[in-house]
Amino acid sequence: MGFVEIDQHREALKGKLRDLDILRKALIAELDAINLYQSQILTLENEEAKKVLAHIMNEEKEHAAELLCVIKLLDEEEAKQLEKYLKAGKVDKCAEEH
């Protein structure tokens, strides 16, 4: 799917679906930012610079959590799934056989 098709898809969305589309894309951006900062922290040599980027990375994690919170409020099925898996507590409980 090209960028033009994606833009047309976004234009076709209305109301809550459009809001969810925007929020999910914002969540993707936050997760990408976390990965970027993590790799930069591993590459940096200066300890103070590492601390600053670690602080920023943790803020991005908070932003991701805030976005999930809003998505949960707008998407009943996502809320149901998040409630189920956030209580898991162990990695082996993070997947369910279907």
Binding positions for Fe ion, rule: CB under 5 A = 60, 63
The smaller minimum CB distance to Fe ion, of residues 24 and 63, is found at 63
Residue 22: name the closest of 35, 5, 9 by CA: 9
Nearer to Fe ion, 63 or 72 (CB): 63
HSE at residue 83, side-chain half, CA atoms within 13 A, is 8
CA distance 89 to 73: 22
Min. distance of Cβ 98 from Fe ion in angstroms?
Answer: 33
Closest to Fe ion by CB, 60 vs 75, is 60
